[in-house]
Amino acid sequence: MMLTAARRYLILTVAAIAAPTFAYAHHSFGVVYDANKPVTLTGTVTKLEWTNPHAHLLMDVKDANGKVVSWTLEGYPATVLARTGWKRDETVKPGDTITIFGWKARDGSALAHLRQATLSDGRKLFFGPPAGTGEGSATVR
């Protein structure tokens, strides 16, 4: 089947518009997060988005003034979480209190790369790779 010039133009236009969206969805650590801005937060889980290319844990955290801030914490894809001990709808549930360690977003928003979660029973599980561009060791802090 031959593509007409108009169809070729349409396909290329759609690809050009969609490409930045896909590129942003899967990004390097350094583009979004700052390895020099570690963060430890304790809060209440509101949702776990079991998605690819990155899973997201959403939690509410009280700031120094007592105001609740909704944080989005990004990590491994769902398939990797499953291999590292996470169980969908079991490991954490809305309402659970957890403590996380990760790195803040460069833009100062309530977004962070989540490295490790400490669950209410004391278990520590990785949620994402260490700061940088590679995987690094699997050592729990």
pLDDT at 121: 93
**For position 70, which CATH number holds?**
2.40.50.140
Q: Residue 48 forms beta bridges with which residues?
A: 57
Question: Quick check: 41 and 113 in contact, CB under 8 A?
Answer: no
Span 54-74, pLDDT tens digits: 899 999 999 999 999 999 999
**5 domain-assigned:** no
Query: How many CB atoms lie under 10 A from the CB of residue 54?
Result: 20
Q: What is the mean pLDDT of the chain?
A: 82
- Quickly list DSSP for 85-106: T--TTTSS-TT-EEEEEEEEET
**Does the structure show a pLDDT above 80 at 16?**
no
Rg of the chain, C-alpha, whole Å: 18
pLDDT band at 9 (very low <50, low <70, confident <90, very high): low
**4 domain-assigned:** no
**138 domain-assigned:** no
Span 117-139, pLDDT tens digits: 999 999 999 888 877 644 444 44
Question: Quick check: 58 and 73 in contact, CB under 8 A?
Answer: yes
**71 domain-assigned:** yes
Q: Write out the residue range of the structural domain in which residue 38 sits.
A: 29-126
Q: Residue 9 forms beta bridges with which residues?
A: none
What's the number of domains the chain is made of?
1
